[in-house]
Amino acid sequence: MTDVSEWLKVESLDLEAQGVAHNSEGKVVFIEGALPGEEVQVSVGRKKNNWEQAALVAMRRESSQRVRPVCPHFGLHAGACGGCKMQHLHPAAQVAVKQRVLEDNLWHLGKVKAEQLLRPIEGPATGYRYRARLSVRYVPKKGHVLVGFHERKSRYIADMQVCKVLPEKVSAMLMPLRELIGAMEARDRLPQIELAIGNVDGTEVIALVLRHLEPLSAGDADKLRAFGAEHGVQWWLQPKGPETVHLLDHGGAELAYTLPEFGIVMPFKPTDFTQVNHHINTVLVGRALRLLAVEEGDRVIDWFCGLGNFTLPLATRAREVLGIEGSEALVQRSRENAVRNGLDHKASFVARNLFEMTPQLLVADGESDRWLVDPPREGAFALVKALADIEQDPSLAPGWTPPKRIVYVSCNPATLARDAGLLVNVAGYRCTNAGAVNMFPHTAHVESIAVFER
């Protein structure tokens, strides 16, 4: 048993940003708040046969990578915000941890080793969250409202007064939002505010989507309007599911983001999936296209295309691009965005259930020289399995030629590794490059990009 008397040497950091050590009995100990290289004493809270969960009690050797957290609500104390997990670790070291997580997953889960590691994509470590889902709770006993992320390992909402990962203007709005909700008649029936920020030519549009469980009174709607006018925000209302989201008042600036390298303007609705970090997304799209090395005569397929984040930039380089997405509504939005950017003659879109892909369905969409794959956390298993099946049994697709290069953008290193294992060990590809993308600084979230060639 590990107790306060034993000093432990922290060896590494796990994906939940816990220090990993071994005690004198050889048992793994996960230590919240500890960093690699540190020597610590701990208090064990949870014991299993081959591991223990512990809290940091004392330290006699501190990591050179330990830094002062930028946010007063970060930490291990009661009530600490659970939105970030790594603020005590230098941002550059966070990226190194995520790169190692990517490499370890590729090897241990997929038996794949990239021939070359890409330089990680990094950006601002604060003020980067252009999307966020803030919980709202009226607390009658205390007579006030909480707006923010949940506490660490808790369903309670943290008592946040600022947030360093939200843009400064939005962080400064947290307390006024609490006052606004507290003054509304429906204050106990407003569970969530979703944030989405657009930026076109330096003009920022801040959209707030208010989830309300009953129709708003005229007085409450007027309070929202007054707040919007004072703070420069655009209110959207969500009475039921995401499909019911609508503007409180029509008019106002369009919600959109840009990809300046490609001359693309991408309008979106505040509940559409767009990347949280616009700075990183801009760099990521550019790198993905350079790695794909698209030529003028190429036909490209963009799997899990969403709103066309990669499809439309690809259409500025390739002869033809097909974007494939599971949602018919998103496909329609993609078509509108292609028209908006004058690329509808080169970019087309279809809806497919990409989690039920077969060799026959794969072949039906025709041959393409290159693929861009950008799946959700579940990965693209059915897609790459169909490709692997054709490699193992060419009679499934007579005369069909697989893509010569695939760029895979991932938000889950475990499912990337699983899919990479199929591509490399069964489907006849090499993993030529892989690298981390720090889309979510201070969190344990690992985004990455990998390149596969036949």
Could you report the per-residue pLDDT of 407-418, keeping only the tens digit for each?
A: 999 999 999 999
Same domain, 240 and 312: no
Residue 305 annotated as binding? Answer: no
* Domain assignment of residue 84, yes or no: no
Residue 3: what pLDDT?
A: 60
Residue 163 annotated as binding? Answer: yes
Residues sharing a CB contact under 8 Å with residue 136, sequence separation 6 or more, in sequence order: 145, 146, 147, 157, 181, 190, 191, 192, 193
What letter represents residue 159's amino acid? D
Q: Could you list the residue range(s) of the whole structural domain that residue 49 is in?
A: 8-61
Neighbours of 24 (CB within 10 A): 10
Residue 104 annotated as binding? Answer: no
What letter represents residue 143's amino acid? G
Same domain, 244 and 325: no
* Domain assignment of residue 174, yes or no: yes
* Domain assignment of residue 358, yes or no: yes
Same domain, 281 and 411: yes
Same domain, 142 and 31: no
Residue 201 annotated as binding? Answer: no
* Domain assignment of residue 365, yes or no: yes
Domain count, the chain: 3
* Domain assignment of residue 381, yes or no: yes
Catalytic, 411? Answer yes
* Domain assignment of residue 2, yes or no: no
Residue 4: what pLDDT?
A: 66
Same domain, 290 and 236: no
**Listed residues 224, 256, 288: the one ending a domain:** 256
Domain holding 55: CATH number? 2.40.50.140
**Listed residues 227, 256, 285: the one ending a domain:** 256
What letter represents residue 365's amino acid? D
DSSP-assigned states of every residue in 70-135: S-TT-SSSTT-BSS-S-TTB-HHHHHHHHHHHHHHHHHHHH----SEEPPPB---SSS--SEEEEE
* Domain assignment of residue 267, yes or no: no
Helix (H) or strand (E) holding 223: helix 218-231
Same domain, 113 and 57: no
Residue 325 annotated as binding? Answer: yes
Same domain, 317 and 396: yes
Same domain, 361 and 421: yes
Strand partners for 430: 453
* Model pTM score: 0.94
Same domain, 313 and 446: yes
Q: What are phi and psi of 352, to 5 degrees?
A: -145, 150
CA dihedral (276, 282, 287, 289) positive or negative = positive
Residue 304 annotated as binding? Answer: yes
Rg (CA), the chain: 24
Same domain, 304 and 424: yes
What is the token pair recorded at 379? 């990965």
* Domain assignment of residue 268, yes or no: no
Is the separation of the CB atoms in 286 and 310 below 8 Å? no
Rounded distance, CA 149 to CA 168, Å? 16
Same domain, 382 and 409: yes
What is the token pair recorded at 227? 């707040």
Rounded distance, CA 365 to CA 359, Å? 10
Residue 107: what pLDDT?
A: 98
Same domain, 293 and 348: yes
Q: Which of 411, 414, 420, 427 is catalytic?
A: 411
Rounded distance, CA 284 to CA 10, Å? 33
Residue 141: what pLDDT?
A: 85
Could you report the per-residue pLDDT of 32-82, keeping only the tens digit for each?
A: 999 999 999 999 988 998 999 998 999 999 999 999 999 999 998 899 999
Residue 431 annotated as binding? Answer: no
CA 407 to chain centre: 18
Residue ranges in the chain modelled with pLDDT below 70: 1-4
Domain holding 320: CATH number? 3.40.50.150
Residue 84 annotated as binding? Answer: yes
